[in-house]
């Protein structure tokens, strides 16, 4: 097979960012991009906007900004579209969600009020604690066709050159992969037969891929993580990825756990509990949606700590995650962690973390980076699962034969090396022997 040589089409024209779900994360993202465009805020937390990348040797002093190094769409070229069963425009939704202050919303209110959600593919069979009138009707196959029409219409009306889709809608009930997800044929038959194994999020992912639109999943739902959609994405040559934005407590976990393991410190317990009072918290109060989230949150430590390789250190780790819906807290979540650490000769220690975080403030820059990087992947001809973007996900998708990498530092190295590779620069291994040539002698 010929070696793949990256060639990147330029990001000309407008990039449409399509968001299933116009709730807290989506409106905080859109309002933030508009605020940055108007010079009213900084895109803090966004690697594409604020990050730099080292090229060449440490002595070369080449450290461009990432968005000056790789050809990414400009913020000014982004336009936004969304679907939601709740018909509120983006301003009204943002006011209800209560993430951003009224004074900040006023700055961009005119822009937000123009964004009205298209009718959603939604069923409360898959998100129990929610309902809304702005919903499409028809068989699952017809719903997929309606979404495809929406996508084409949006592209046309907004004069977009390209589109990306980022799932920012509620977490659906836990679904296991089954026969209907096994192949494109089985999946398309399932659409015709209204198979209950096909959740609304899968219909969005299918419609996006069929329209050649990259799809990233910000929730832990199975969605595109099924053989039928990997195969379709490969055939149609569309990038896909997920799952579940890595924010809050899991972000902290993937920062800390690699550190404990690096120093060979043991762990006997890690108890994580959250209180949050937004709509996401209410949806996650349903045991079936919580189960989807729990699976996504629990996997992280297992993969980072590798208890099979280090049974004395991590073989008996007790890991528990709770989410408690507590309305007074709103979007300002509180994530508590109690970590039982084991040191030299088995002596126990404890670390307590109380992260008073703002979930959507942490998620918004991720949506931006994913939109820009998935568009880059598409223009570079990279299709199928984009594992190099695992950095952004709690439960990263990989090629079927691989286990996911959760260590945030390895994920960042992988992301930056992928950018270097795309632009024909040497990867950075951190070996660094070239700086010490004079100190080595033949043995
Ligand atoms: N905020 C974070 O830090 C964070 C982190 C990781 C993952 N997530 C996930 O991102 C998603 C969005 O979070 P949020 O805080 O914005 O939640 P939210 O409840 O404020 O917004 C979700 C929106 O999706 C809509 N929706 C539900 N089903 C839909 C469908 N089928 N089609 C279109 N719209 C639909 C809801 O009506 C709601 O307006 C959730 O799944 C959440 O678990 C959020």
In this predicted model, what pLDDT tens digit does every residue of 300-318 receive, in sequence order? Answer: 999 999 999 999 999 999 9
Q: Using one digit for the tens of pLDDT, what is the confidence trace for 89-136?
A: 999 999 999 999 999 999 999 999 999 999 999 999 999 888 899 999
Q: Using one digit for the tens of pLDDT, what is the confidence trace for 13-37?
A: 999 999 999 999 999 999 999 999 9
Residue 25's nearest CA partner among 354, 253, 358, 282 is 358
Ligand 1 geometric centre to CA of 420 (Å) = 33
Confidence (pLDDT) at 279 = 81
- Residue 65 clears pLDDT 80, i.e. is over it: yes
Nearest atom, ligand 1, residue 130 CA: 37
Check residue 269 and report its DSSP letter: E
Domains recognised in the chain with CATH numbers: 14-245+360-422 (3.40.50.720), 248-356 (3.30.360.10)
Ligand 1 geometric centre to CA of 24 (Å) = 7
Q: Using one digit for the tens of pLDDT, what is the confidence trace for 244-300?
A: 999 988 999 999 999 999 999 999 999 999 998 888 788 888 888 888 778 777 789
Q: What is the rounded CA–CA span in Å between residue 379 and residue 375?
A: 6
Nearest atom, ligand 1, residue 28 CA: 16
Ligand 1 geometric centre to CA of 248 (Å) = 15
Measured from CB, residues less than 6 Å from any atom of ligand 1 are 20-26, 83-86, 97, 120-122, 127, 130, 132, 168-171, 200, 218-219, 244-245, 247-248, 278-280, 283, 359-360, 362-363
Q: Where are the alpha helices (DSSP H) in 247-358?
A: 248-262, 279-284, 287-305, 311-314
Ligand 1 geometric centre to CA of 172 (Å) = 9
| Ligand 1 atom 29: residue of nearest CA | 169
Nearest atom, ligand 1, residue 293 CA: 43
| Global pTM exceeds 0.85 | yes
Structure token pair of residue 352: 């307590």
Structure token pair of residue 371: 């939109």
Indicate the top mutation candidate among 140, 166, 248, 280 to test ligand 1's pocket, ranked by most ligand atoms within 8 A of CB: 280
- If phi > 0 it is left, if psi is from -120 to 50 it is alpha, else beta; for residue 313 that is alpha
Structure token pair of residue 357: 């975080």
Instruction: Tell me if 363 sits within 8 A of 25, measured CB to CB.
Output: yes
Q: What is the rounded CA–CA span in Å between residue 345 and residue 238?
A: 52
Confidence (pLDDT) at 205 = 98
For the stretch 147-152, contacts whose Cβ atoms lie closer than 8 Å and that sit 24 or more positions apart, written own/partner, are 147/83, 147/121, 147/203, 147/204, 147/207, 148/207, 148/210, 148/211, 150/83, 150/118, 151/18, 151/207, 151/208, 151/211, 151/213, 152/211
248-268 burial code (b ≥16 CB/10 A, e <16) = bbbbbbbebbbebbeeeebbb
Which residues, 6+ apart, have CB-to-CB distance to 423 below 8 Å?
Answer: 6, 69, 70
Cis peptide before 243 (omega within 30 of 0): yes
Nearest atom, ligand 1, residue 83 CA: 33
Beta carbons within 10 angstroms of residue 272's beta carbon:
24
Confidence (pLDDT) at 344 = 98
């Amino acid at each position: 097979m010929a070696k793949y040589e990256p060639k990147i089409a330029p990001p000309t024209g407008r990039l449409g960012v399509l968001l299933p779900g116009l709730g807290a994360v989506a409106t905080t993202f859109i309002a933030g991009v508009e605020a940055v465009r108007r010079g009213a805020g900084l895109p803090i937390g966004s690697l594409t906007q604020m990050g730099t990348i080292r090229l060449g040797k440490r002595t070369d002093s080449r450290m461009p900004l990432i968005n000056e190094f790789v050809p990414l769409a400009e913020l000014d070229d982004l336009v936004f579209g969304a679907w939601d069963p709740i018909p509120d425009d983006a301003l009204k939704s943002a006011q209800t969600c209560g993430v951003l202050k009224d004074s900040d919303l006023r700055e961009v209110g005119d822009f937000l009020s123009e964004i009205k959600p298209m009718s959603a593919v939604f069923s409360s069979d898959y998100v129990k604690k929610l309902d809304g009138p702005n919903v499409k009707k028809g068989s699952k196959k017809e719903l997929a066709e309606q979404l495809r029409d929406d996508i084409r219409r949006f592209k046309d009306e907004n004069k977009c050159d390209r589109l990306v889709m980022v799932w920012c809608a509620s977490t659906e009930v836990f679904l296991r992969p089954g026969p209907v997800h096994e192949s494109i044929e089985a999946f398309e038959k399932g659409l015709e037969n209204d198979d209950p194994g096909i959740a609304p999020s899968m219909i969005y992912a299918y419609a996006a891929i069929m329209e050649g639109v990259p799809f990233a999943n910000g929730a832990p739902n199975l969605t595109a993580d099924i053989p039928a959609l990997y195969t379709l994405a490969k055939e149609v040559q569309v990038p896909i990825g997920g799952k579940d934005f890595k924010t809050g407590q899991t972000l902290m976990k993937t920062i800390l756990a690699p550190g404990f393991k690096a120093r060979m410190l043991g762990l006997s317990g890690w108890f994580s509990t959250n209180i949050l009072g937004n709509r996401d918290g209410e949806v996650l109060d349903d045991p079936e949606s919580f189960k989807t989230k729990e699976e996504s949150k629990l996997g992280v430590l297992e993969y980072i700590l590798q208890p099979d390789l280090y049974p004395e250190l991590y073989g008996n780790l007790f890991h528990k995650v709770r989410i408690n819906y507590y309305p007074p807290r709103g979007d300002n979540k509180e994530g508590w962690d109690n970590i039982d650490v084991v040191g030299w000769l088995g002596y126990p220690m404890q670390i307590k973390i109380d992260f008073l975080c703002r979930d959507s403030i942490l998620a918004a820059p991720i949506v931006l980076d994913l939109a820009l990087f998935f568009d880059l992947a598409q223009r570079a001809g990279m299709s199928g699962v984009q594992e190099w973007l695992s950095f952004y996900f709690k439960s990263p998708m990989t090629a079927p034969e691989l286990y996911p990498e959760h260590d945030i530092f390895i994920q960042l190295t992988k992301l930056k090396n992928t950018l270097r590779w795309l632009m024909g620069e040497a990867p950075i291994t951190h070996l660094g022997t070239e700086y010490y040539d004079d100190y080595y002698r033949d043995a």
